[in-house]
Every structure is written in C-alpha cells, then in structure tokens.
Structure 1
C-alpha cells in the first residue's frame, strides 16, 4: 500500500498509547514492490533432474531434495514434501539459524512483549502453526526422516556438479534445490553509527533476543522507519511503557561508553536514545546464488509461474523469488508470510505432481498490534490488491477505517482496519474482480459499512453486464 496511507494508519494506531510517551515522526519509505515488466525469460531448458550420487563424500547423505533457508517458506515446503510422502530419507534442510523454521512475524509481535504480557516463545510458534497446521519442532523433522543442518549457511553453488558448499566446508549434493533464503535487513552504514552497541535490526530469533535485552533496561527508544517493523516494534515498546519516537535520521552518535546515545536528524535536531531499532526495509538474500538469473527491477531470483529458475532443477520461493504476478501482468517480489506459505506449497506441488497451472497470487498484507494481555484495544488490518491510482479514505479510527484505491474508475485495492469477519471476507473478492466504482459517491459515504456496501453492490452491476 502507499507509504502515506500506512504512515497515517500507523499514527492513528499508535495514538492508543494512553499517555505512555509515544511520539511519531516517520520518514518516506518504499512498501510494496511495484515494478515494470522485464524482458521475457525462457525456461525451455528446464527439466526435472533428480540426480542421486553414490559417493559417501557428501554431508547430506545424498538426499534427492535440498531446501536452503530457515524461514516460513522452508517450513511450509517441508510440510508439502511430507504430504506427498516424499520427505523420509529424501529431504535435507540447510539453514544459518540454530532452530527449525518458525513463523517469523511473531518476532515483531508477540515475542517482544514484556514478561507480564505473556510473550510468545519457541517452540510455540514453529511452522506451521500460523495457518493452523502441526507444530514442526526438531522432533517433527526427525520423525519424518528429514535431515537438518543448522547454523551452517550455504556459501557457494556449483550448478554443473549440482552441489552446495556450506560455511563449515560441508559438501551437499542435490537433485532438486529449493532456495528459500528470504531477505536480510537493510543496515545503516558503519560510518553513520549503524553498528553501534544498542543499535538493533530484527530478522531472526537471535536479533529479537538481543533487542529484548536492550528493552529491559531502556529509557528512550528511537525507531527508524515507518513500515511493518517500525509499527509493530513501536506497539511492543508501548507495552514496555517506554518513551518511544519514530523518526528519519542523519546519523547516530555514541556516548563515552561506545553505546548509542543520540540520534541526529536531518535538520540538526538531536534526540537522546539508549536503544535504536532500524526498520528501513530488507534485501533479498541471494548470496551464493548470484550465478542464477537475478531480477534487475525488483531484485531476487527470477522464476516462472511454477517457481522454476532458468537452471534445471533449481527453484526459488518466498521473499527471494521474483515471480510473475499474473493478474497484474508484471514481475514482483512480495515480502509477506502469506506469499511465503503459498509459494512454497505451489512450488512443491508442481515439483512432485502433475500440477501445471501457474501461480495466480492476489497480493495480501495484514498485521496485528497491541495484542498483549491488558491492552486497551487490539488492532488488526488487512489489505488486498494493488496500491495504484487515487485513494479514498472512509471513517476514522474509532471504531474502524477503510482505504480504497481507484484507478481509471476501477477498484484496485482495499484496506480495512477493525472490520468484522464478514467484512474482511469481501475484500479479496473486491480486489480480484476490480469492479467500477464511483469515486465521488464512495468519498461521500458516511461510514465504512456504507462504503463497503456500495463497493459490494458494484460487483452485482458488473455481473449483470
């Protein structure tokens, strides 16, 4: 969605601070990756190539399938292999993390709550509990015969030999390789204080643990960035009753002890801070896979509608994949758990079955904040579609708010906060069908409910044509 809309939504949401010292000053930032169509890429060379070596020189015991990555996409891909009865003795997962894949969104939501707010902890949110599935702990992988290599990231890829090398020097053989490495957090340069003690980036459990240690003794927190990370961490900081500011900065300054002590803004104004969280976006973790076709427009690894790269036997899913967004006729990357889950499942189903229909994804983003115990109000919003055209905002934050994107008369996207289950169910239908809506009449509606009824009625008009 547009940065201006999300900034306004974030400011409204965080006004629930109830006098707890939270102020906001959010910078410009890039949210949904909207890009031009790239030149077409041929995947004619693709073939299924399950090569099983007989040598004992390989550290993964010659498994047919290898998944590289430890996030949501990797966990959901593993579940799909199990559902196809193709995991036991055939699948290996390689990850830089110390634990099996987990539901990463929990890190900036439940995990950061103070102890009296009953924070989330592992193994409580291992995949695939986020979608109502079984909790895939270390024991789960053992029970299903899945080999796991943790804290040993892949450092190089040999396409001809179909081998991977890890940081410890292990040599892994693959028949089919699924890259699910996700993204890494964008960092501030060291020369402006990006690596000071007390400066945090959050992407994994270790990052979250480090941040919690700072929050436990923090007095003044500054959050840089106004997207998901900024909004959700700011909400969690309110739970700690901390004085929190969201801001755009020029550089960070250290105190005499080497720890961050202040934030210098572009206008020269100084804000004292003993904890700074940087949430300015992320970069696809292509690392050792740069030999593959990379997208020049959205970053990441270029794939087709079945998540096949241009190299036979290699696939990419989740945040790192640059895939054809069919309904909008362009290439995109989507950094969200919903896409991570769906893309992994679609890829494995295509790999192991006769499925040939291409991935037809409707962009879907959601977030939940202030969900800790004792919170005066929980905030939950959902967005479907495309953030293009003019915006029409209806309602206020009490009790709910909605934003509609209208382009050439067609409804392209819609966001709703604090909606009922029935209202949320109509959003993907509206975004998928893209009915014609009178922007002026929509703007003059008196409530969110009336606006949604008007948009829904336009569906019937379209059907009658």
Structure 2
C-alpha cells in the first residue's frame, strides 16, 4: 500500500484528486482536511441556483457521507492546515493536532478580495460570495425593490448582478476599468454582455470606482463614487477578484509567486508536495498562470491523482470556462490573453453570437453566447491545434462543421 495522502482543502480539487485515486484502485490511506463544515460540494451554483433558493446544499454535494466511509476516506471538517513541517513530514491542524503525511496535496483554493474597513468594507450589508455560508447571508438580503451595488464588472460581479436583478432588485454595477470584462474578454464580448444587462435594466457605470461606502448605525446606506456622485444603496456585493491561499506554502519555504509554483506534473518545489486548483501557479505555453475555473481544478487534480497511481503523463491545460447570466450561457474555450484580432459571428438561433480570437494569425479562443455549436467547434479546433478558415467564419451563412477535418 502506498503512503498516506493528506489533502489540505475541501473543495473541488480536493474531491477530484481523492475520487480519481479511488477510481484508479489506489487504496492508500487518505485524509481530507476541510475548513468548511460541509463535505465537498459544487461551487458554481452558489452564486446562481443556490443563491436563488432553487437548489439546496444536499444537491450540491459531490457525494454523500456514505461514499467517504465506503472508500475509506477520512474527512476532518471545520479544520484547517495551519502549518507544514517538511522535515518531519507532517502538518499542523487548527485543532492543535498534527497529522503525518507521505504525500501532501495543497488544494487550498483562493479567497475573495474584500474592501478595507477604512472605506466602509466592515459595514453591515457588504458581501462576498465564496462559500455556502456567504450565499446564505446574501440570500436573505435579496428582497425586491432594494438597491444593490455591485463592485466589479468581471464574471463574478456580473453573475451577482444577474441574480440580484432577477430577484427584483434595482442594480448598479461599477467598474474601474474602461469596460466590463476588460481583463478577461475582448471589447466585442464586453459590448455583447453589457447590452444583455442593460436590456434588463441594470445600470452599468464603467470607468467608475468607489471612494467609500457610507453607513448609518453600522449598516451601509450609500456609496460615494469617483465620478462625483453619491448613490443610495441597501446592500453591496464585492466582486473584485481573488487571491491564492498560498500562505502556508510560503511559510513552509515552498516557491510561491501569484500562487504556489508547480511544474507540469503539479509538483511544488518539494517533490512530496503537490498543489492544484485556484491556489496553483502552473506552466502554460511560455508563461505561468493561475486558472481560476472548476475545469482546471478538476482536470489538474485528476492528473495529479493519475501520477500518484503510477501514471507518467504531465498535465496539459486546455482552458474552458462558462458563465450563466439570466437565461444567457456564455461558454469560453481557450485563453484569449494577447489576442490582436477578433471575428464576431452571428449564430443560427436568435440571440446567439460568437467571438473568435486570434493572435498573430493563430486561433487562440472563442466566446460563445447561447451558441453551443460555435463553442463545440471552437473547442475541437483548439484541441487539434487548428486555425479556422477566416472566410468561413466571416460568412454568416456558412456551416461551422466545414471548419473541422
């Protein structure tokens, strides 16, 4: 039997590495150390169906408690790994105990950035959404007729805006950059998504930041903005990005950057310690990136599991993402970073459109809005390393199937 695996973290990557090991008939002792009070569960529905009370926590669980018992997986809930002793090969836990390991997997995830208290971030009515407890608190606040301010025009902020608007709230989104989604999408995609929200009555203010939140009796009541205006608000949802939970790795002397540095196999600078998911800084082409997505957390964790079970294949990221806003599904294949050209194509169904990204003539990504055919075609082309015929893309009547070999 192989040596004990300890997994620090109880999210998607943690569950994926353990479940894949068991699927590969690896019966080594396994302990998951999970900070939350719940067994591992799906995160994406938290800011959508769970927040809207269309799905309860039991339905979000990857597996019931019996699965962990049946598969001899020890789970320590409401417990954190607080330190790593690499020489003694053990971890310190928040309950004061120590747990030995032969292999340690860091699946510690990330933490939402919060507003500093100096500008009102500690007022009541100011929220982030990262776990089910956050969503439970926010759900109580989503009452029709109230005014919600969303700080940040990335995918997290816009998904929150969609939920709040769908719940009958008046919604204002502020984004400091020149346009929403500026860091992650093309101007064409920003234009499409902006229209989706504005058509539903969301007030989007780009090039606008927050000076401070104002409150009465400890509760937020207004926001002072950089454009000189002050708007009344009943609640605030902060979506200004996340930071990697890499502190325990840094304290243990592992190499960290904007995350825990790993190689193609998920190994950290200590060959007995791996990192995966949102906390990991992984090699991709000629750079190092953190891929903050469910897909990467699962795929990278499963690749590590396969390696532990005797495999030899490195992890080669094939990024894909999705975002649900109202009845709109945005699916993204590839990574549009560094693009210098886009082609916008109208789909065959009403309301469907796709944006195709190119860098130095090479196809690198596609954003598909309610256009599954464009997404599937683009993803297959990326997997095959092919660049589509521009004439076909620009011909709105052409069948995308002709792009595939």
TM interval, shorter chain, is 0.7 to 0.9
Q: Which residue of 1 aligns with 2:224?
A: 264
Please give the residue correspondences for 1:16-415 in structure 2 after superposition, counting only pairs within 5 Å.
Answer: 64-87=4-27, 90-113=29-52, 115=53, 119-127=54-62, 136-216=63-143, 219-248=146-175, 249-290=209-250, 291-296=252-257, 299-325=258-284, 328-353=285-310, 355-370=311-326, 378-387=327-336, 388-395=339-346, 398-415=350-367
**1:429 deviation in Å?**
1.7
Give the secondary-structure state (helix, strand or coil) at the position aligned to 2:138.
helix
1:183-232 per-residue CA deviation (whole Å, 9 max, x = no partner) reads 10011111111121100011111111111122247711011111221121
In 1, Cα distance between the equivalents of 2:308 and 2:218? 51
Give the secondary-structure state (helix, strand or coil) at the position aligned to 1:123.
helix
**1:276 deviation in Å?**
0.2
Contact 2:50 2:57 in 1 (8 A): no
Give the secondary-structure state (helix, strand or coil) at the position aligned to 2:141.
helix
Alignment CA distance shift 1:258-1:419 (3 Å): same
| Structure 1 alignment gaps of length 5 or more | 1-48, 52-63, 128-135, 371-377, 461-465
Give the secondary-structure state (helix, strand or coil) at the position aligned to 1:107.
helix
In 2, Cα distance between the equivalents of 1:313 and 1:107? 33
In 2, Cα distance between the equivalents of 1:172 and 1:255? 45
1:138-187 per-residue CA deviation (whole Å, 9 max, x = no partner) reads 23212222111111111111111111112221211111111001110011
When the two chains are superposed, the root-mean-square deviation of aligned CA atoms in Å is: 2.2
Give the secondary-structure state (helix, strand or coil) at the position aligned to 1:215.
coil
In 2, Cα distance between the equivalents of 1:65 and 1:338? 23
**1:442 deviation in Å?**
6.4
Give the secondary-structure state (helix, strand or coil) at the position aligned to 2:57.
coil
1:28-52 per-residue CA deviation (whole Å, 9 max, x = no partner) reads xxxxxxxxxxxxxxxxxxxxx966x
**1:443 deviation in Å?**
7.4
Alignment CA distance shift 1:320-1:172 (3 Å): same
| Structure 2 alignment gaps of length 5 or more | 176-208
In 2, Cα distance between the equivalents of 1:94 and 1:205? 18
Question: What TM-score, normalized by structure 1, do the two folds share?
Answer: 0.74
In 1, Cα distance between the equivalents of 2:117 and 2:34? 27
Question: What TM-score, normalized by structure 2, do the two folds share?
Answer: 0.85
Contact 1:218 1:274 in 2 (8 A): no
1:226-251 per-residue CA deviation (whole Å, 9 max, x = no partner) reads 12211211111122111111113323
In 2, Cα distance between the equivalents of 1:254 and 1:155? 36
**1:286 deviation in Å?**
0.8
**1:379 deviation in Å?**
1.4
**1:97 deviation in Å?**
0.4
1:78-117 per-residue CA deviation (whole Å, 9 max, x = no partner) reads 21122133357x111101100011111111111111x5xx
**1:436 deviation in Å?**
4.3
- Aligned residues between the structures: 368
> Is 1:425–2:376 an aligned residue pair?
yes
Alignment CA distance shift 1:217-1:155 (3 Å): farther
Q: Which residue of 1 aligns with 2:184?
A: none
Give the secondary-structure state (helix, strand or coil) at the position aligned to 2:50.
helix
Contact 1:292 1:311 in 2 (8 A): no
Give the secondary-structure state (helix, strand or coil) at the position aligned to 1:124.
helix
